[in-house]
């Protein structure tokens, strides 16, 4: 079974990584950029974001900056640069939603989460049919352990947008927090279907449920699927993979994953802890052979 999983990862993951190129997005400073609904980063003070790996083919780019109307633009095959012009907005729903998103991302305690929830509610008061705001509210309510209200927000989002991959992924996370593993898996798999096979948050969610069940090798396969969809660029997933390899006593594989984390995030929140255990893991790994 272990060999089969390794072969599947090699066959389906490696070609996707090879067929990638670099792209530079130019827009407003501090604008958030999504490609095919996957968040890829934030533009710098000059309004530029260089993305090292974007798969070949046609894509959709979505850009949001505070104070501006969110804009979507096509990224055609062969393009190496894209300029996305944003227009300022006075739409109160949009402005409250943007403020809520910023507050949620900066929140570190319950009072700041409650403030973000109130901003989402202001956005929804100004525009009741606003599924993105419902999903943002659901994320906050989940973090506040208000699971019943979080489910209600997801249901409201679906009434406006029945097929919504992000909503299904968050629903899966809520179910996992409630310890309803089977419901969580169903929601995550629905998110992947709704995303046309691409929904890295759902793949990570499935992996976490599998970890809860002690199925670490299967979890690693899901983590790697998420990495491919994120163009091999999300350091925290490498930390999760490293921890999973430790659980199944594969120190060489754990070392490789942790070193990739440090390469991508040398000053990341897990960096100090990873550095403290790497030497021991390398000693344990001496003489072992890594399975690809």
Domains and CATH numbers, the chain: 2-83 (2.60.40.10), 234-292 (no CATH)
Q: Are 157 and 175 in contact (CB under 8 A)?
A: no
Length of the chain: 292
pLDDT grade, residue 8 (50/70/90)?
very low
In this prediction, residue 22 has a pLDDT band, given cuts at 50, 70 and 90, of: confident
Pair 223, 241: CB distance under 8 Å = yes
CA–CA gap between residue 215 and residue 230 (Å, rounded)? 23
pLDDT in tens, 124-138: 999 999 999 999 999
Is the predicted pLDDT of residue 73 greater than 60, yes or no? yes
> pTM for the complete prediction?
0.85
Is pLDDT above 80 for 87?
Answer: yes
pLDDT at 288: 55
First to last CA, the chain: 14
Mean pLDDT of 222-244: 92
pLDDT, residue 61, reads 93
Cα dihedral sign for 273, 278, 279, 284? positive
What is the average pLDDT across 63-86?
Answer: 92
Q: What is the pLDDT of residue 289?
A: 52
Interatomic CA distance for residues 87 and 68, integer angstroms: 5
> Pairing relation of β-strands 71-75 and 81-83?
unpaired
What does the pLDDT average to over 143-153?
A: 98
Mean pLDDT over residues 160-167, rounded?
Answer: 96
d(CA 243, CA 211): 10
Q: What angle do CA 226, 230, 262 make, to 5 degrees?
A: 90
Q: Quick one: pLDDT at residue 291?
A: 53
pLDDT digits (tens, 9 = 90+) for 29-71: 999 999 888 888 899 999 999 988 888 788 899 999 999 999 9
Give tens-digit pLDDT for 175-226. Answer: 999 999 999 999 999 999 999 999 999 999 999 999 999 999 999 999 999 9
Residue 13: what pLDDT? 43
pLDDT value at 292 more than 90: no
93 with 133: CB under 8 angstroms? Answer: yes
Residues in a beta bridge with 275? none
Spatial separation of the C-alpha atoms in residues 4 and 272, rounded to whole Å: 34
DSSP per position, the chain: -HHHHHHHHHHHHHHHHHSEEEEEEE-STT-EEEETTEEEEE--TTSEEEEEEEESS-EEEEEE-TTB--EEEEE-TT-SEEE----B---HHHHHHHHHHHHHHH--SHHHHHHHHHHHHHHHHH-S--HHHHHHHHHHHHHTT-HHHHHHHHHHHHHH-SS-HHHHHHHHHHHHHTT-HHHHHHHHHHHHHHTTT--HHHHHHHHHHHHHTT-HHHHHHHHHHHHHHTTT--HHHHHHHHHHHHHTT-HHHHHHHHHHHHHH-TTSTTHHHHHHHHHHHHHHHTT-----
The least confident of 58-62, 101-105, 111-115, 121-125 is: 58-62
Phi/psi for 56 (5° steps) reads: -65, 150
Give tens-digit pLDDT for 246-290.
999 999 999 999 999 999 999 999 999 999 999 899 988 886 555
How many beta carbons lie within 10 A of that of residue 247, not counting itself? 15
């Amino acid at each position: 079974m272990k060999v089969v999983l390794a072969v599947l990862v090699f066959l389906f993951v490696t070609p996707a990584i090879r067929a990638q190129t670099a792209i530079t997005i130019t827009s407003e400073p501090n604008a958030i950029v999504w490609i095919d609904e996957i968040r890829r980063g934030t533009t710098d003070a000059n309004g530029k974001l260089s993305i090292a790996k974007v798969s070949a083919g046609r894509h959709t780019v979505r850009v949001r900056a505070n104070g501006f109307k969110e804009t979507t633009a096509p990224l055609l095959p062969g393009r190496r640069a894209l300029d996305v012009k944003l227009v300022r907005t006075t739409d109160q729903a949009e402005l409250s939603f943007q403020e809520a998103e910023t507050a949620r991302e900066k929140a570190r305690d319950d009072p700041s989460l409650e403030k973000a929830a109130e901003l989402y509610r202001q956005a929804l008061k100004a525009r009741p049919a606003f599924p993105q705001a419902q999903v943002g509210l659901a994320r906050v309510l989940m973090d506040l352990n208000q699971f019943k209200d979080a489910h209600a927000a997801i249901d409201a989002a679906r009434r406006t947008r029945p097929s919504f991959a992000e909503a299904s992924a968050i629903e899966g996370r809520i179910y996992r927090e409630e310890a309803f593993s089977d419901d969580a898996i169903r929601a995550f798999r629905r998110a992947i279907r709704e995303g046309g096979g691409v929904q890295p948050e759902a793949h990570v969610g499935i992996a976490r449920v599998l970890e809860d069940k002690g199925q670490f090798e299967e979890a690693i396969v899901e983590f790697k699927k998420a990495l491919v969809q994120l163009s091999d660029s999300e350091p925290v997933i490498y930390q999760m993979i490293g921890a999973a390899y430790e659980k199944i006593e594969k120190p060489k594989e754990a070392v490789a994953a942790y070193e990739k984390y440090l390469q991508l995030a040398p000053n990341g929140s897990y960096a100090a802890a990873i550095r403290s255990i790497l030497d021991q893991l390398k000693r344990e790994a001496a003489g072992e052979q890594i399975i690809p």
